[in-house]
Structure 1
């Protein structure tokens, strides 16, 4: 992978969206949602190894989901930069309701009717869960606040979760839900870079960047139905 570009230009602002490291539930393909699952040993190593690349952006601030797996990832960057970490619950993963803790196969067996509607309806509310549109709303709000907090030529890092970050990214650009199919899931400890062009506005200049060979890309377990195929195998 090419090293990150650390100088966006004298006046360009930048947002870096960083997904947390691996957890044991990522390995088991279980929907984590807002369960407070910690990083596993591999996830802690991923965060430690990726942090220098994020530090090279010379961030002005670090905001993080308040869930442990994101906080622990953000902490590795804070150690290198000397910055405090601002916790923001708007950066949390989807609340997946009754899907929490299950694999897709378990979800299908235990709630077959809900499973079918989950894949058939674009903005369906799984019992106990957030609507995809509600996640889009809170993620758009926090990305907008982060952008507004940036001075000229400065970078902000937001640490969160795969499904919410990808949904929030598309919502930030007001893209229709069907366009999410164009983007692969963000790998554990991968990041996406947005940069503000002086004429064209915010642009995606890097997506799913990572420093780790063979990093896991598992995230589909959190996704609403327009993100995954019900006939597809569980994510790696």
Structure 2
């Protein structure tokens, strides 16, 4: 799918690769730096995203997102506004554990989460609580945009999923239907008469015009 030229646009961009991504460790709010490849991913993606001529950049204040956002700022000349409301889900004792360790120690909790049940993973935040803090931060930044402006939001996979779910009106139990984002990939929301619409998901290239019955 692709973007519509009318209305405001939000690009939700996941940070570049980290060592914990490679080790399949749950990062959450732990402040983990980008790898050299993560920096290179951010640099390549920034060149592409700059072609959208964004009007503003907001970012989680964790270093993996802040450093990703800095690559786009260097290309566009825009300043980055950092906001802790855009941080990844706090997941308590899950943080730092590998995927296999989580399944071994907290398998029932993990299964309930995957079924769409409200779960405080590791004693941390509910997904709805993440949306409660992240979506308003995005909406506040959007309110400062010019008409038909473009906002780049640099955040984390889980936070992006919950923000998209909240903004397009999906029931929380179905947010998991939105697949994950690869490192330095992004999703695009476009503003329409009936609200926000998901135009691109887990993309790594610029949107193409929609030509067909759904135009």
Q: If the TM-score is normalised by the length of the shorter chain, which range does it land in?
A: 0.7 to 0.9
Q: Tell me the secondary structure at the aligned position of residue 56 of structure 1.
A: helix
Counterpart Cα distance in 1 of 2:29 and 2:152: 21
Counterpart Cα distance in 1 of 2:78 and 2:196: 25
Query: Does 1:24 pair with 2:19?
Result: yes
Query: Which of 34, 40, 47 is 1:45 aligned to?
Result: 40
Give the drift of 1:158: 0.6
* Unaligned 5+ runs, structure 1: 212-236
Count of aligned pairs: 202
> Deviation string for 1:52-110 (max 9, x for gaps)?
1111111111000000000000000000111111000011000111001111221243x
Counterpart Cα distance in 2 of 1:127 and 1:206: 31
Q: Tell me the secondary structure at the aligned position of residue 86 of structure 1.
A: strand
Counterpart Cα distance in 1 of 2:204 and 2:121: 32
Question: Could you state the TM-score of these two structures normalised by the residue count of structure 2?
Answer: 0.87
Alignment of 1:186-201 (within 5 A): 186-197=181-192, 199-201=193-195
Counterpart Cα distance in 1 of 2:137 and 2:158: 15
Q: Is the 8 A contact 1:143 1:172 kept in 2?
A: no
Q: Is the 8 A contact 1:194 1:203 kept in 2?
A: yes
Q: Is the 8 A contact 1:61 1:84 kept in 2?
A: yes
Counterpart Cα distance in 2 of 1:133 and 1:183: 15
1:217 is matched with which residue? Answer: none
Q: Is the 8 A contact 1:70 1:160 kept in 2?
A: yes
2:101 is matched with which residue? Answer: 106
Q: Tell me the secondary structure at the aligned position of residue 203 of structure 1.
A: strand
Q: Is the 8 A contact 2:118 2:173 kept in 1?
A: no
2:163 is matched with which residue? Answer: 168
Query: Does 1:8 pair with 2:5?
Result: yes
Alignment of 1:50-65 (within 5 A): 50-65=45-60
Please report the RMSD computed on the Cα atoms of aligned residues, expressed in angstroms: 1.9
Give the drift of 1:128: 4.1
Query: Which of 112, 116, 138 is 1:120 aligned to?
Result: 112
> Deviation string for 1:186-228 (max 9, x for gaps)?
110001111112x2322111111115xxxxxxxxxxxxxxxxx
* Unaligned 5+ runs, structure 2: 206-215
Give the drift of 1:131: 1.8
Query: Does 1:206 pair with 2:203?
Result: no
